Structure 1
Amino acid sequence: MCGVTRKDKIRKNYVRGTVKATEVSAKMQERRINWYGHVIRSEEDYIGNRVMEMHVDGRRRGRPKLRWRDRLKEDLEDKGLRREGAMDRTRWKRLARNSDLI
């Protein structure tokens, strides 16, 4: 990518700072929030909206799986965003952004 190999034994934080890129987890958070805004702004009969409101009956054995909705809730709380804010697309995208290091 930038002329660095694993044999050089350079820490990823140093390389990330040199390349001016954010962590992958921060970018994933940004994409989840952007997709949620897209679904919220879409029509009511859109399949994404129907799936978001769907509830599956039944129980699982063992530890409950972390659902996309649960992770999204954490992301929205972390950023201080609310569902109503998604209607303004440009503002939503700006607030959801985890900008690359400058």
Structure 2
Amino acid sequence: MRMLRWAGGLHLEIGFKICPGSFKVAPLTEKLKESRLIWFGHVMRRPEDHVVKKCLSMATKKRGRGKSLNTWMTNVRRDMRELGLSADDAYRRDEWRLKMSKADPS
């Protein structure tokens, strides 16, 4: 956001209100969901014996007091539920990318 304000020559007071709409940038939360799902699809297409894919099925222990209950995998599951995707969809790469991609507004 700071870079966009700088590129547009905007001051801090008005930058937050004008900046995202004037530069036609997709919301940051949507881009984060997209990148999480891109990585998840990449990992799911790896061979079954690959280290990273084995890590997805590892059990997580209960987190301590004051820690967030969310893990990376719970965020991915939530994102897939919002978009109506399943883990099996990741094996069909073209369809996966079409369903989860978030293009910048034009």
TM-score range relative to shorter protein: 0.7 to 0.9
What is the CA distance between 1:100 and its match in structure 2?
A: 1.0
Q: Greater RCO between the two (CA within 8 Å, min separation 6)?
A: 1
Moved over 6 A (4+): none
Matching residue of 1:39: 43
Sequence identity of aligned pairs in percent?
24
What is the distance in 1 between the residues matched to 2:63 and 2:38? 30
The alignment covers a number of residue pairs equal to 99
Taking the aligned partners of 2:17 and 2:94, their CA distance within structure 1 comes to 31
RMSD of the alignment, in Å?
Answer: 1.7
Q: Normalising to structure 2: TM-score of the pair?
A: 0.82
After TM superposition, give the deviation of residue 61 of structure 1 in Å.
3.3
Residues 1:16 and 2:20 aligned together = yes
Q: Which runs of 5+ in 2 are unaligned?
A: 1-6
Q: Tell me what 1:86 maps to.
A: 90
1:17–1:101 contact (8 Å) kept in structure 2: no
